[in-house]
Structure 1
Amino acid sequence: MESFVLNKLRLSLKDNGEIMLHRGKTALVTGSSSGIGKAIAEAFAAEGANVVLNGLVKPGEEDALVQEFESKYDGKFGFSGANLTDPEAIEGLISYAARDFGGVDILVNNAGVQHVSPIEDFPVAKWDLIISLNLSAAFHTTRMCMKPMKEKGWGRIVNTASAHALVASPYKAAYVAAKHGIAGLTKVVALEGAQHGVRCNAICPGYVHTPLVDAQIADTAKARGITEDEVKQNVLLAAQPTKEFVTAVQVGAMAVFLTSPAGDQINGALMQMDGGWVAQ
């Protein structure tokens, strides 16, 4: 009976008998060289998945990143520095995953960038960059992965959205627009994949203390003419009733849950992890 149940749940075991949720599957996590993306990649690696890492790193750092994963986890790991604002580079990334890893079973669209500015002063180049990286890149990776997932009859797509996929804040026109777009894209992909074994969901964290948020803190302080401590307490955490930052590890755990057998009937969801921000 136990082996039947494990088979039905598509689980595998570590040598010590501990259940692993994703052994034998390949996860591609964009923007995974640091921050939330790296925590998500580690969460999948810990569950036995092979992981394709991606991000912006200095020359030579990609080898160190792969070696770090290889030293801690049992799967196969690789890195691509593909520029996700370039559709041809994204095609190369997906081709690399297909050639060296047998394809993408789990796609996590996590790469992103932020800029804070009043809309009348918002640099057009920053708008174009944020829409391209935070929204269009997820469209391109998804369109390239969707057909193989449908053909296999199984695939999981997780988009790292934000509470800003559901609500807005001043001075973040491009970011809020992109994240609202991610919310809509998530729902469309969920519907298109529903009868083909493909699930698509988005995680909507509140503020996670990462290098990206550190940059936001500095930019917001400048834009509003206040101190960085005041930004943390009166701007960022003011929105989160728990008065606590979300952790990158928590986001990684949610990504694993959504792609596990327990999440099979979660589809098209925008999973709030914001300490109650959107509940207000």
Structure 2
Amino acid sequence: MALNGKTALVTGICGGMGSEIARYLALSGCTILGIDRYDAETVTDNIEKLTQICKKEVRYFECNLLKRESITDLCQKIDSAVPAGIDILVNNAGVVFLDLLENKTLEGFDEEITVNLTAPFHLSKHFFVSMKKKGWGRIVNISSAFGLVGSPKSTGYSAAKAGLIGLTRGIAVEAAQYGVTCNSICPCTVDTNRETCRSESYEKEYHNYSDC
């Protein structure tokens, strides 16, 4: 698939499916913009390796998808870096906290909804505007098989991923007339290195973090 001249933004780029998606898009001709919640120093090696594989520069932006102000700041930075607007948005980043329903915390549930559902809405809403103007765009939401069928200890994750499928359907119907498509992919367990640049301190704080 030739995507020469297109610019793709991939969230959760620093491990697992994010890195693989970015690599494939780059090899297909895309310029890659990647975001994750790590600071730039932590991900330097990862981005350099990805750049070598892609044989193109990969521009990295730090963003904590739990914070709306962080997403707003990210959008402003990307608008400045790519005045014409991105062409492809891949909402890949995610978080899951596995626990029995009776032990599930509201804080954990809120994080799963925020990262897995609210953040993709925020990014899709913003970048759809430039796609609409150009008459071409692709929004890809990485949901999960857990969004189609439930799984023990995954009430929040399943709810968020099911919501992401609903969000995809809504955007797809509204955006199609402007040459913009929106699709959702629902993988099961994927054999990738989930976190390739996690620091020791980050591991202690977010031991249940996942980007796929």
Assess, with a 3 A threshold, how the Cα gap between structure 1 residues 211 and 28 changes in structure 2: closer, same or farther: same
Any gaps of 5 or more consecutive residues in structure 1?
1-19, 214-250, 252-280
Corresponding residue to 1:65 among 35, 43, 46: 46
Q: Which residue of 2 aligns with 1:81?
A: 62
Q: CA deviation at 1:94?
A: 2.1
The normalised TM-score by structure 2 is: 0.85
Task: Report the TM-score when normalising by structure 1.
Answer: 0.66
Q: How does 1:120-269 map onto structure 2 within 5 Å?
A: 120-210=102-192
Distance in 1, Cα, partners of 2:177 & 2:45: 41
Alignment CA distance shift 1:95-1:154 (3 Å):
same
Task: For 2:81, give the aligned amino acid.
Answer: D
Which residue of structure 1 lines up, in the alignment, with residue 202 of structure 2?
Answer: none
Q: How many Å apart are 1:210 and its aligned residue?
A: 4.1
| 1:159 and 1:203 in contact (8 A); partners too | yes
| Alignment check: 8 A CA contact 1:193 1:199 kept | yes
Output the aligned Cα RMSD. 1.9
Contact kept in structure 2, 1:27 and 1:52, CA below 8 Å = yes
Q: Name the count of aligned residue pairs.
A: 195
Cα deviation for residue 62 of structure 1 reads: 3.0
Q: How far off its partner does 1:48 sit?
A: 1.3
| Post-superposition CA distance 1:47-81 (Å, at most 9, x none) | 11111111133551333333223323343421011
| Residue identity in the other structure for 1:92 | D
Unmatched tracts of structure 2, length 5 or more = 196-211
Q: Partners in 1 of 2:19 and 2:136 — Cα distance? A: 24
Q: Is the 1:50–1:76 Cα contact (8 Å) retained in structure 2?
A: yes
Q: Is the 8 A contact 1:104 1:145 kept in 2?
A: yes
Residues in 2 aligned to 1:58 and 1:142: alpha-carbon distance in whole angstroms: 23
Instruction: Return the letter of the residue paired with 1:176.
Output: S
Q: Which residue of 2 aligns with 1:49?
A: 30
Q: 1:56 to 1:39 in 2, by over 3 A?
A: same
Cα-to-partner distance string for 1:149-179 (whole Å, 9 max, x where unaligned): 1111000000000111211112111000000
Q: Is the CA contact (8 Å cut-off) linking 1:110 and 1:160 kept in structure 2? A: yes
SS in 2 for 1:205: coil
Return the alpha-carbon distance in structure 2 between the equivalents of residues 185 and 55 of structure 1: 22
Question: Is residue 109 of structure 1 aligned with residue 91 of structure 2?
Answer: yes
Deviation at 1:90, TM superposition (A): 1.2
Who is 1:96 aligned against? 77
Whether contact under 8 Å (2:95, 2:116) holds in the other structure is yes
State the 1:204 CA deviation. Answer: 0.5
**Percent of paired sites with the same residue:** 38
